[in-house]
């Protein structure tokens, strides 16, 4: 067992996901030879692609988790739509899928019209940036089944998105990855929607129950910097696909960090990676590491540590990929290369 703060098993979530997928995968045979047969297994997949009589449609679902509490504490709701869209759109594009439609479910204790309007404004803005139509949703009033901070509406927010292979290319699942391939990192803006249980624990221990109001710097509070919205990577990756670049693998770095999420991409090749030039974590992330005395392995298994997506290309395609990514406005840099063995980050080896 890999233990984190207070003996937390850092690999528990991955093991639970594997158990859940084991039972899901057993259902695939139900559709064999029929409309809706899944085409992809668990290895290398952030979504699944189904065959509908020759039409390929991919699907995934996710939510913003306990980041909702940051909005309840700060009163800032309009940015959470970016987090929700990022979780599903970037999972789809990590398999070479263009996200096209989204439905969302908002579970609330009691509806608040003003808050719901702010949430949906943010969802609309993020969906527009990614070219997604929000085609439906549900607001479920669940009373005391939903808890949270403060006197206003408490909520959980999840979405399901579907997409189609961009330019009818086969889904990207990591099977083409080869030793010597270049790994390019796309810089993240913050924690995205993962690891907030640890974030809240550290800040509460440091600043007390009203930790969200504690000053950080430049007139921002800790609550505001922790709420930093997710950067949307789908448009940049779609630009790489449109340019015809050979993308061998893409890792969307969310819960479980690089060892879990990029490890998933590497599974089919059986290779590892040496990552010595990743983006450093943002200043507020590094400060949180110091406040909580978080060790290196825990930090890189809980958070993306400044690296929201890793893209694998053959070495000869790296320069063009970086130029295209620079045009899309998001920082990107060569982070390392594919190599036999395990995942090694700044000289530290991680086991899957």
Residue-wise DSSP of 241-303: HHTT----EEEE--TTHHHHHHHHHHTTTT-EEEE-SPPPPPHHHHHHHHHTT--HHHHHHHS
Give the pLDDT confidence score for residue 24 in this predicted structure.
83
Domain ranges, ordered by start, for the chain: 47-168, 182-350
CATH 3.40.640.10 fits 182-350, yes or no: no
Phi, psi of 179 (to 5 degrees): -60, 135
* Model confidence band, residue 1 (pLDDT cutoffs 50, 70, 90): very low
* d(C-alpha 90, C-alpha 234), whole Å: 5
Give the pLDDT confidence score for residue 199 in this predicted structure.
96
In eight-state DSSP terms, residue 211 is G
How many CB atoms are closer than 10 A to CB 315?
A: 11
Question: Dihedral sign, CA of 36, 162, 257, 148?
Answer: negative
Q: What is the pLDDT of residues 248-282, one digit of tens each?
A: 999 999 989 999 999 999 999 999 999 999 999 99
Tokens representing 287 are: 């400060």
pLDDT at 43 over 70: no
Give the pTM. Answer: 0.93
Give the pLDDT confidence score for residue 26 in this predicted structure.
85
In eight-state DSSP terms, residue 252 is E
pLDDT at 343 over 90: yes
Cα 159 to the center of its chain, rounded Å:
13
Strands 37-38 and 155-165, sheet pairing: unpaired
User: What is the fold, at CATH topology level, of the domain defined by 47-168?
Assistant: 60s Ribosomal Protein L30; Chain: A; (3.30.1330)
Q: What is the mean pLDDT of residues 138-143?
A: 97
Q: What is the mean pLDDT of residues 166-175?
A: 92
Distances (CA, A) of 301 to 34, 44, 159, 234, 255: 39, 18, 24, 23, 7
Give the pLDDT confidence score for residue 29 in this predicted structure.
87
* d(C-alpha 317, C-alpha 246), whole Å: 7
Query: Coil, strand, or helix at residue 108?
Result: strand
pLDDT more than 70, % of the chain: 96
Give the pLDDT confidence score for residue 11 in this predicted structure.
72
Give the pLDDT confidence score for residue 6 in this predicted structure.
56
Please check whether residue 177 is in contact with residue 269, taking contact to mean a CB–CB distance below 8 angstroms: yes
Give the pLDDT confidence score for residue 42 in this predicted structure.
56
Q: What is the pLDDT of residues 199-218, one digit of tens each?
A: 999 999 999 999 999 999 87
Rounded to 5°, angle at Cα 241 from 258 and 55: 100
* Model confidence band, residue 103 (pLDDT cutoffs 50, 70, 90): very high
Q: What is the pLDDT of residues 175-199, one digit of tens each?
A: 999 999 999 999 999 899 989 999 9
Burial of 66 per CB tally in 10 Å (0-12, 13-18, 19+)? middle
pLDDT at 8 over 70: no
Please check whether residue 344 is in contact with residue 266, taking contact to mean a CB–CB distance below 8 angstroms: no
pLDDT at 28 over 60: yes
Average pLDDT, the chain: 93
How many CB atoms are closer than 10 A to CB 204?
A: 13
């Amino acid at each position: 067992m890999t233990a984190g703060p207070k003996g937390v098993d850092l690999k528990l979530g991955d093991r639970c996901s594997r158990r859940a997928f084991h039972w899901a995968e057993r259902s695939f045979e139900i559709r064999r030879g029929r409309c809706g047969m899944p085409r992809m297994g668990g290895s290398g997949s952030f979504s699944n692609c189904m065959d509908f009589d020759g039409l390929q449609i991919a699907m995934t679902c996710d939510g913003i988790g306990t980041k909702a509490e940051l909005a309840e504490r700060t009163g800032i709701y309009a940015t959470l739509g970016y987090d929700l869209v990022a979780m599903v759109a970037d999972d789809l594009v990590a398999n070479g899928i263009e996200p096209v439609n989204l439905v969302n479910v908002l579970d609330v204790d009691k509806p608040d019209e003003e808050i719901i309007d702010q949430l949906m404004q943010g969802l609309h803005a993020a969906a527009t940036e990614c070219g997604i139509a929000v085609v439906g949703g549900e607001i479920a009033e669940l009373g005391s089944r939903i808890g949270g901070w403060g006197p206003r509406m408490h909520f959980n927010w999840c979405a399901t998105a579907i997409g189609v292979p961009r330019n009818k290319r086969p889904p990207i699942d990591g099977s083409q990855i080869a030793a010597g391939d270049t790994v390019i990192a796309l810089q993240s803006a913050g924690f995205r929607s993962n690891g907030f249980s640890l974030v809240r624990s550290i800040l509460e221990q440091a600043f007390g129950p009203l930790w969200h109001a504690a000053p950080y710097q430049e007139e921002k509070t800790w609550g505001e910097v922790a709420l930093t919205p997710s950067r949307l990577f789908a448009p940049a990756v779609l630009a790489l696909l449109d340019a015809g670049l050979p993308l061998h693998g893409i890792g969307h770095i969310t819960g479980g960090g690089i060892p879990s999420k990029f490890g998933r991409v590497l599974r089919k090749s059986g290779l590892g990676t040496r990552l010595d030039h990743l983006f450093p974590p943002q200043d507020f992330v590094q400060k949180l590491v110091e406040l909580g005395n978080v060790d290196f392995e825990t930090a890189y298994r809980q958070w993306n540590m400044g690296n929201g997506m890793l893209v694998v290309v053959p070495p000869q395609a790296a320069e063009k990929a970086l130029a295209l990514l620079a045009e899309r406005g998001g920082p990107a840099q060569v982070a390392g290369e594919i190599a036999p063995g395990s995942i090694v980050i700044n000289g530290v080896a991680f086991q899957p």
